[in-house]
């Protein structure tokens, strides 16, 4: 769990400068995980329920890997941390380690869009990132296990980054409480989106991400004058992932969180 924020200190954890630095660090984590993932083909079979036979399990191979991973991590209290969100919250065991004492950083809420993140990852993000031919020769010949292990890391890092929007929203709410309370009470989701959106910051993120993906994804063994095969990852696919999915989903988390921020929030149109 890659973190530069002290979650035991509310003032530090909700400082926007610290939050932004953490989001920048998570960019590195996400890029490195995707560099590892794209060394394998897409292998769509592992995302298809029943594509790989698993005794007493009817979901996809990826779902089984995710659930198995989360069961272990839940027992050592990963999902008691306020910045971690499981994909299978209703199926996890209780921790056997004694609980840690965290301050009340976030308002009680039910926001968890991991199912949406997983759908976007398996149907849109991953196919656009994988440059190797989608030949999927079957369970006996493809690296299903290796692919799914890295898929878990990719999904967990994306989930953590996107759900960090709650910390952003809470910090902004505390800075301009009256302004946000008025919009929340009016069920003004559009107004909330405009209030949390900083186009110039989004452009900076995308530019920084492009530069990082170019630097981290460059194959040092390739000659400088051979463009083919120099990049280990499709840089523009990573930028597109952030532009079309990570940033919009983060804002969705922020807005959904804010709509539940008051003790007696209004009922929103989408049921959040």
Q: Could you report the per-residue pLDDT of 200-227, keeping only the tens digit for each? A: 999 999 999 999 999 999 877 665 555 5
For the chain, what is the domain count?
1
- Domain extent, residue 24, equals 10-99+109-218+231-254
Residue 219 has a pLDDT of 78
For residue 271, being part of any structural domain is answered with no
Residue predicted with more confidence, 229 or 162: 162
For residue 46, being part of any structural domain is answered with yes
For residue 225, being part of any structural domain is answered with no
Q: What is the DSSP string of 22-41?
A: HHHHHHHHHHHHHHHHTTS-
Among residues 87, 93, 136, 138, the alpha carbon closest in space to that of 115 is found at 87
Residue 1 has a pLDDT of 47
Mean pLDDT in residue range 91-105: 93
For residue 261, being part of any structural domain is answered with no
Query: Tokens for 181?
Result: 């309370």
pLDDT digit string, tens, across residues 142-178 = 789 999 999 999 999 999 999 999 999 999 999 999 9
Res. 138: pLDDT tops 80: no
pTM recorded for the entire structure:
0.91
Q: What mean pLDDT, rounded, does the chain reach?
A: 90
Residue 224 has a pLDDT of 57
Task: Give the containing element (helix H, strand E) for 159.
Answer: helix 144-163
For residue 265, being part of any structural domain is answered with no
CATH number of residue 163's parent domain: 1.10.590.10
Cα radius of gyration (the chain): 20
Partners of 131 in beta bridges: none
For residue 260, being part of any structural domain is answered with no
Residue 233 pLDDT grade (very low, low, confident, very high; cuts 50, 70, 90): very high
194-198 long-range contacts, CB within 8 A, separation 24+: 196/168, 196/169, 196/172, 196/251, 196/254, 196/255, 197/251
Residue predicted with more confidence, 68 or 137: 68
Residue 136 has a pLDDT of 73
Query: Tokens for 121?
Result: 């990852």
For residue 58, being part of any structural domain is answered with yes
d(CA 106, CA 196): 17
Residue 271 pLDDT grade (very low, low, confident, very high; cuts 50, 70, 90): very low
For residue 209, being part of any structural domain is answered with yes
CB 111 within 8 A of CB 260: yes
Res. 52: pLDDT tops 50: yes
254-269 as b/e: b if 16+ CB within 10 A: bbbbbbbbeeebeeee
Find the helix packing angle between 199-216 and 16-37, rounded to 10°: 40
Residue 268 has a pLDDT of 47
């Amino acid at each position: 769990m890659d973190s530069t924020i002290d979650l035991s200190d509310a003032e530090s954890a909700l400082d926007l400068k610290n939050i932004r630095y953490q989001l920048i660090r998570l960019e590195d984590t996400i890029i490195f995980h995707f560099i590892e993932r794209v060394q394998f083909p897409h292998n769509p079979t592992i995302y298809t329920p029943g594509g790989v036979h698993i005794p007493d399990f009817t979901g996809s191979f990826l779902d089984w890997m995710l659930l198995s991973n989360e069961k272990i991590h839940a027992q050592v209290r990963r999902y008691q941390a306020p910045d971690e969100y499981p994909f299978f919250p209703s199926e996890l065991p209780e921790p056997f380690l004694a609980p840690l004492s965290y301050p009340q950083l976030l308002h009680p809420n039910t926001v968890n869009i991991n199912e949406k993140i997983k759908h976007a990852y398996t149907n849109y993000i991953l196919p656009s990132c994988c440059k190797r031919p989608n030949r999927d020769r079957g369970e006996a010949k493809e690296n299903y296990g290796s692919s799914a292990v890295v898929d878990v890391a990719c999904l967990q890092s994306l989930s953590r980054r996107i759900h960090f929007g709650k910390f952003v929203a809470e910090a902004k709410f505390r800075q301009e409480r009256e302004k946000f309370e008025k919009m929340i009470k009016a069920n003004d989701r559009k107004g909330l989106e405009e209030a949390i959106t900083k186009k110039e910051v989004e452009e900076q993120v995308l530019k920084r991400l492009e530069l990082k993906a170019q630097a981290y994804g460059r194959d040092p063994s390739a000659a400088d004058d051979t463009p083919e095969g120099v990049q280990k990852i499709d840089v523009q696919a990573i930028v597109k992932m952030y532009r079309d999915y990570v940033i919009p989903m983060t804002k969705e988390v922020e807005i959904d969180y804010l709509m539940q921020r008051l003790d007696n929030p209004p009922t929103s149109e989408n049921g959040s």
